[in-house]
Chains A and B, each alone.
Chain A
Amino acid sequence: MSDLEAWRAKAVAWCESMVPTFGKAARKGLSVEDDLALGRRYQKAKFDAGFAGINWPTDLGGQGLGHIEKITFEAEEMKHGFPNVYFGISLGMPVPVLMQFGPDRDFVKERVLKALQGEEIWCQLFSEPSGGTDLAGLRTRAETDGNGWKINGQKVWTSWAQYSDYGVIVVRTDPTVAKHKGLTYFWVDMKAPGVTVRPIKLAGGDSHVNEVFFDDVKISDDHRMSPVGGGFAVALATLMIERYVATDSAGFGPHLDLFVDLAKEVRLNGKPAIEDGRIRQQIARNYAMRAGLDSINVRARRMMEAGMTPGPEGSLNKLVAVRSRQKLSELALDLQGAGGFAFDEHASPKDDWASSWINAPTGRIAGGSDETLLNTIAERILGLPQDHRPDKGIPFNQIPA
């Protein structure tokens, strides 16, 4: 058994042992607050078992292992529906950025250890009402104020902000230079005076995203994590941290075998749906597409194991998988006919077709919309020209609104 296989076996055994306490059945019917409390216990258990911060340095509480061990563990963890969603952003981007750029090392160490054990949660304050995709178009500003700074403005789509203790934030510190050049990167205390968090209820009924308002929020200069005016580079570094994460060719919706089972149960015009050519074609095409993604992901893992850098084709995963999930979910509801109306807003999008369907649009927008991803593939991989950008090189305060 290779080291990696031994690691996987250890992960499998631990995950299975956690199912009675933290699995889907244990979470059923819990309020979000109770589920979060369970999640904090899960995160602590994970830390104690040596599965938290797998690829992080040991002097900060990590395990000092590689990226491949991390995604191997996550691929196993993903199968059980544990309450870990609250820590995904926190441990995914803001805390690693804090580790890399946080100026006060004692403070950093304390925060990292608490975040790894589920005691503290961090959010990422990037998107704004006037610009999500156009990150550098943000308008929230920070002005110098004595020895520190004063933040005013609004962020939006901030995941888990209502439960967060800290956040990382990009703000405009100089509106008189080109938009990318006037940004600075800070961390903020989410409980500080002047910070107001308002949850946004989404179409599917849940509220994990928020609007966050900053009203004369005062921070000292030791919160600064980039040079003044050098925030965009750190923001990009944040977005680049997790290029290869554990992926799911089902687009984080139900797996295809659930659709096949449904098609075998349901009758369509008097015949089993699995015999209907339209259904068969969808099954076959979705299988071929998802099998392709699986193969790309396996190859990426093997390349990492071999010390190579995976190819850019990994960027296809979200684009292709979520579109397939959306259409397949529509079709699953079609197959159920009037039986498809039943809706439980707390059902899991991983095994409930209605929940998968109503929540699928989020997947096509968050983390880069389909259109943005196609642009990225076209421009970065294929070298096609950039879109026309009339705001290029113009001072931010002179860009026509």
Chain B
Amino acid sequence: MNILLCCAAGMSTSLLVTKMEKSAQDQSTEYKIWAVPGESVRNHIDQADVLLLGPQVRYLLPQLKKLGEEKGVPVDVINPVHYGTCNGEQVLKFAVQLVSK
């Protein structure tokens, strides 16, 4: 499963990526998790099964949701508390939930 994260510069989401990878290691599913800046999403979304936005760029949601619908990729904003506390486990769960919906 490929999980794409995006924020303004792809910096703070990359913190979360390491945490998510750590929690993904415990599961047997193969995960690819990576973070990009908002403007690069277009070039990465084709490889993604799900796109998660940092809460600080949630103004991009309408635009990216439209893009996601075209590509059949679910798009949503990460819960701010999970984001702030870098809760990789919860965010991973959220991503899996979105895909299986």
A-B complex is real: no
- Which B residues contact A (CB, under 8 angstroms)? none
